[in-house]
Structure 1
Amino acid sequence: MKKRKIELAVISDVHLGTYGCHADELIVYLNSIQPKKLILNGDIIDIWQFSKRYFPASHLKVLKKIIGMASKGTEVHYITGNHDEMLRKFSDTSMGNFKITNKLVLNLDGKKAWIFHGDVFDVSIQNAKWLAKLGGYGYDILILINSFVNWCLAKMGRERYSLSKRIKNSVKGAIKYINNFEKTAADLAIENDYDYVICGHIHQPKKERYENKHGSCLYLNSGDWVENLTALEYSFKRWRIYHYNQDKLSPFFVDEDLKEMDLNELIASITDKGLDIETIAEVIEEKKTKKS
Structure 2
Amino acid sequence: MSIAVAPRHLRTLFLSDIHLGTRGSQVDLLLDFLKWHDAETIFLVGDIVDGWRLKKSWYWPQSHNDVVQKLLRKGRKGARLVYLPGNHDEFLRDYLGTQLGGVELVDSIVHETADGKRLLVIHGDQFDVVVRHAKWLAFLGDGAYTLALGLNTVLNKIRRRLGFDYWSLSAWAKLKVKNAVNFIGTFENALVTEAKRVGADGVVCGHIHHAALHDDFGIRYINTGDWVESCTAIAEHHDGRLEILRWSAIAKDEAFVVDPDTKVDQVAA
TM interval, shorter chain, is 0.7 to 0.9
Structure 1 length-normalised TM: 0.80
1:240 lines up with 2:250 in the alignment? no
Unaligned stretches of 5+ in structure 1? 261-292
Tell me, yes or no, if structure 1 residue 44 matches structure 2 residue 44: no
Residues 174 and 251 of structure 1: CA distance in aligned 2, closer, same or farther (over 3 Å): closer
* Corresponding residue of 1:287: none
Identify which of 90, 99, 103 aligns with 1:98. Answer: 103
Q: Any idea what SS the aligned residue of 1:135 has?
A: helix
Give the C-alpha shift of residue 153 in structure 1.
Answer: 4.1
SS in 2 for 1:42: coil
Percent of aligned positions that are identical:
34
Counterpart of 1:272 in structure 2 is none
Deviations 1:64-122 (A, max 9, x none): 11111111110000100000000000001124641111111122232211000000111
Compute the displacement of 1:54 (Å). 1.6
CA distance, structure 2, for counterparts of residue 160 and residue 105 of structure 1: 34
CA distance in structure 1 between the partners assigned to 2:65 and 2:144 by the alignment: 24
TM-score w.r.t. the length of structure 2 is: 0.87
Given candidates 19, 22, 37, the residue that maps to 1:15 is 19
Equivalent residue, structure 1, for 2:205: 199
Q: Which residue of 2 aligns with 1:282?
A: none
Q: Tell me the C-alpha RMSD between the 2 structures.
A: 2.4
Distance 1:253 1:178 in 2: 22
* Bigger-Rg structure (1/2): 1
- Residues 49 and 137 in structure 1, CA contact (< 8 A), matched pair in contact too: no
Structure 1 counterpart of 2:138, from 113, 117, 132 = 132
User: Which residue does the alignment assign to 1:65?
Assistant: 70
Contact 2:42 2:81 in 1 (8 A): yes
Map of 1:1-292 to 2, 5 A cutoff?
A: 1-50=5-54, 53-95=58-100, 97-109=102-114, 110-155=116-161, 161-211=167-217, 216-235=218-237, 236-245=239-248, 249-250=254-255
Shift of residue 192, structure 1, vs aligned partner: 2.9
Amino acid at match of 1:4: R
- The 4+ residue runs of structure 1 with deviation greater than 6 A are 252-257
More helix by share: 1
C-alpha separation in 1, matches of 2:226 and 2:45: 10
Pair 1:159–1:41, CA change in 2 (3 A): closer
Deviation of the 1:149 alpha carbon: 2.2
Distance 1:58 1:190, change over 3 A: same
Superposition deviation, residue 18 in structure 1: 0.5
1:286 maps to what in 2? none
Shift of 1:147: 1.3
Distance 2:195 2:84 in 1: 18
2-side partners of 1:253 and 1:144: how far apart? 27
Distance across 2 between alignment mates of 1:209 and 1:202:
18
Give the distance between the partners of 1:78 and 1:32, measured in 2 at CA: 21
